[in-house]
A = this chain, B = another copy of it.
């Protein structure tokens, strides 16, 4: 629909990523898209609603991306590789969204946070299943912890831009794959 909403969300995401949710004022977000201040309330009900819509849509994109790939790929090893590539591409192409999702989940309203958490959990489950299909010796909690660790690895991207986009992508894919392969070890609590 309106380009304006997306434009506002993109600007807000960048500002939230840089200064934190509470560190950004309505006026700054408006200024970033060329209008000033309260004009934003023609498009969003509140500042909270901006963050809510932002994080919800990210989580939905990730989840449907994961579900799509699981549906299309039946070879477990190939699926895991595609999940990795998907997450790497998303992180490299949407650094501020990734940053906001990692840092500002706690600033959501309770209902929004519940929604986002639910979506995230389903996305993680896609990963957990894929991991365990390629490494059946891992129990479920270990697989889940390993998945979270790999998210941390991939999502660290916004904070280190030293390589080019493609060099970064291949390196992250290889490191993620190796890390997951190495999670097997003799891990036991």
Task: List chain A positions with a Cβ less than 8 A from chain B.
Answer: 18-23, 77, 81, 102-104, 106-107, 141-142, 144-146, 148-157, 159-160, 162-164, 166-168, 170-172, 174-189
Beyond A103-B20, A106-B20, A189-B177, whether A171 also contacts B146 by CB under 8 A is yes
Identical copies of this chain, number: 2
Complex interface: chain B residues within 8 A of A106 (CB): 18-20, 23
Complex contacts, A174 vs chain B, CB 8 Å:
182-185, 187-188
CB closest chain-B residue, reference A188: B167
Distance from A7 Cβ to chain B, minimum over Cβ atoms (Å) = 23
Q: For the complex, what is the distance from the CA of A81 to the CA of B188, rounded to whole Å?
A: 11
A20 CB contacts on chain B under 8 angstroms: 20-23, 103-104, 106-107
Which residues of chain B are within 8 angstroms of A182 by Cβ–Cβ distance? Answer: 174-175, 177-179, 181-182
For A19, the chain B residues whose CB sits under 8 A away are: 106-107
Given known contacts A20-B21, A20-B106, is B153 in contact with A141 (CB within 8 Å)? no
The distance in angstroms between the C-alpha atoms of A94 and B33, with both chains bound, is 39
Question: Smallest CB–CB gap between A165 and chain B, Å?
Answer: 9
The minimal Cβ–Cβ distance linking A65 to chain B, given in whole angstroms, is 20
- Contact assessment for A152 and B156 in the assembled complex, using a CB-CB cutoff below 8 Å: yes
Across-interface contacts of A146 in B (CB, < 8 A): 171, 175
A148 to B167 CA separation, bound complex (whole angstroms): 15
Contact, CB under 8 Å: B160 / A142? no
